Amino acid sequence: MNNQGVQVEIISIGDEILIGQIIDTNSAWMAVELNKAGFEIVQITSVHDNARQIVESLNLALQRADIVIFTGGIGPTKDDITKQTLCNYFNTQLIFNQQTYNDIEQLLKHRKLVINELTLQQAWVPENCTIIRNPVGTAPIMWFERNAKIIVSMPGVPYEMKNAMSNEVIPRLQKNFYTPTLIHKTVQVYGFPESALAIKIAEWENALPENIHLAYLPNYGIVKLRLSGNSDDSPALEFSINQQIAGLTEILGNAIISFEDVSVEILVGNLLKSYGKMIATAESCTGGNIAHKITSVAGSSEYFKGSVVAYSNEVKANILKVSADDLETFGAVSKEVVEQMASGVRKLLKTDVSIATSGIAGPSGGTDEKPVGTVWIAVCSEDELISCEFRFGGLREQIIERTTQAALLMLKDLIAH
């Protein structure tokens, strides 16, 4: 970590985070967006809806950071105490804000609701703060300044937080601080365990310039190598990072599956688009997850026609026309069945290429011969049909995710080889 930049600390507030009832995805989203805008996140802290803890974490954060961003704890209900706590912290009082009242009235009208006593309280705000309007929720954003530092209190509802961050908070922060250029570039490598990769590129890694930092991020069979730098001379830094990546490419060749930090479903989507190919999936153990991943990408209707989730053998036989004999003889988790699923769905939905999966995601259903984690994947085009058996570790969720990732990568190879 380089301490030259403008430092931000994110404090997420809510008992529900600390009992694990919700996962703090807000902080990760903010970190990405703040980074892009040239800010560095020094720490992320999650605390209870508790005045003492909120104040303590704010005091510590102000020692480390130039900017402190709170998220959560400003809803209309009794358990949310952040506004009152900040009001006490800044020795100020709540005053009625007509603009906020009008905004809330407008928002509720649109939803055919009226202001009640709780939403009314959202229009009372600390006297010393600047109010940033929240067009998509009832809690306004509070912006405080003290000793050249900035403290912002944001809603915890992700949609409201994201809207305000992108449109108001980040642009205002950029006006208040000079931000040096942070550059992150990611190279995705497939087919090496993390330590084997580290040895293969050790010489290259040891020769990296001091201002470029390397991190290894393993993710279901892929290792992302992230090169980061922080410089006031942005073109020179970018040139230097690109030069390092060129060196890496010489060492790793085809093991590099992408020079961008994008998901496999986006990589595959882009390939399908550029080759003008339509895809369908036939899914047993992945239960629709491959289709879900593909369609999570905006514009996927350009290359995705549909899927048959064939969870029962009856669907495999009746809809995908898998031979009932083969299902009986080899079992659903077999080369024979998965290949027929792939070619079956390709014919049925009239696509150029297809993916099929059949496996045992567990926790039950495993045998000595085919333990939990045994998965067959097939990919199919007009003139090729490739299948492969995998033994994945992990629990149900991991097996489904690993199968999804491996299947998309097999399809990538089928199209691009």
Q: Restricting to residues 364-403, name those near a second copy by CB under 8 A.
A: 364, 393-398, 400
Rounded to an integer, what distance in angstroms lies between the CA atom of residue 232 and that of residue 109? 49
Single out the segment in contact with a second copy by CB under 8 A; choices: 49-57, 144-152, 242-250, 322-330: 49-57
Shortest Å, Cβ 407 to a second copy: 13
Which member of 95, 217, 236, 324 binds a second copy (CB under 8 A)? 217
Is residue 330 a contact point for a second copy (CB under 8 A)?
A: no
Which member of 71, 97, 100, 138 binds a second copy (CB under 8 A)? 138
Single out the segment in contact with a second copy by CB under 8 A; choices: 40-48, 93-101, 125-133, 172-180: 40-48
Q: Which residue lies nearer to a second copy by CB, 292 or 335?
A: 292
Is residue 362 a contact point for a second copy (CB under 8 A)?
A: yes
Rounded to an integer, what distance in angstroms lies between the CA atom of residue 409 and that of residue 59? 48
Shortest Å, Cβ 417 to a second copy: 25
Taking CA atoms, 14 is separated from 23, 56, 61, 150, 343, in Å, by 11, 15, 17, 21, 50
Which member of 180, 191, 287, 331 binds a second copy (CB under 8 A)? 287
Is residue 29 a contact point for a second copy (CB under 8 A)?
A: yes
Is residue 46 a contact point for a second copy (CB under 8 A)?
A: yes
Which member of 247, 306, 331, 366 binds a second copy (CB under 8 A)? 306
Q: Which residue lies nearer to a second copy by CB, 87 or 399?
A: 399
Residue type present at position 310:
A
DSSP state of 322: -
The encoded tokens of residue 116 equal 């009640």
Residues 9-28 that bind a second copy (CB under 8 A): 15-25, 27-28
Rounded to an integer, what distance in angstroms lies between the CA atom of residue 192 and that of residue 59? 44
Rounded to an integer, what distance in angstroms lies between the CA atom of residue 345 and that of residue 287? 15
Q: Which residue lies nearer to a second copy by CB, 127 or 296?
A: 296
The encoded tokens of residue 20 equal 């694990």
Please give the helix or strand (H or E) that residue 375 lies within, else none. strand 374-380
Q: Which residue lies nearer to a second copy by CB, 315 or 415?
A: 315
Is residue 44 a contact point for a second copy (CB under 8 A)?
A: yes
Q: What are phi and psi of 11, to 5 degrees?
A: -120, 115
Burial of 23 (0-12, 13-18, 19+ CB in 10 A): exposed
Rounded to an integer, what distance in angstroms lies between the CA atom of residue 1 and that of residue 379? 43
Rounded to an integer, what distance in angstroms lies between the CA atom of residue 51 and that of residue 74? 13
Which member of 148, 246, 253, 350 binds a second copy (CB under 8 A)? 350
Is residue 288 a contact point for a second copy (CB under 8 A)?
A: yes
Is residue 91 a contact point for a second copy (CB under 8 A)?
A: no
Q: Taking the alpha carbons of 398, 404, 406, 409 in that order, is the dihedral positive or negative?
A: negative
Which member of 6, 13, 37, 42 binds a second copy (CB under 8 A)? 42
Neighbours of 81 (CB within 10 A): 17
Taking CA atoms, 262 is separated from 192, 258, 268, in Å, by 19, 8, 10
User: Smallest Cα–Cα separation from 408: which of 350, 338, 353?
Assistant: 353
Binding mask 222-261 for a second copy (x = CB under 8 A): --x-x-x--------------------------------x
Is residue 142 a contact point for a second copy (CB under 8 A)?
A: no
Shortest Å, Cβ 319 to a second copy: 7
Single out the segment in contact with a second copy by CB under 8 A; choices: 37-45, 90-98, 145-153, 249-257: 37-45
User: Smallest Cα–Cα separation from 170: which of 84, 81, 67?
Assistant: 67
Please give the helix or strand (H or E) that residue 293 lies within, else none. helix 289-295
* Cα-to-chain-centroid distance, residue 185: 17
Residue type present at position 215:
A
Binding mask 97-116 for a second copy (x = CB under 8 A): --------------x-x--x
Q: Which residue lies nearer to a second copy by CB, 20 or 383?
A: 20
Q: Coil, strand or helix: which one is 181? A: strand
Which member of 66, 103, 265, 283 binds a second copy (CB under 8 A)? 283
Residues 177-196 that bind a second copy (CB under 8 A): 184, 193-196
CA angle 315–319–320, rounded 5-degree value = 95
Shortest Å, Cβ 164 to a second copy: 14
Is residue 324 a contact point for a second copy (CB under 8 A)?
A: no
Rounded to an integer, what distance in angstroms lies between the CA atom of residue 136 and that of residue 107? 7
Shortest Å, Cβ 309 to a second copy: 4
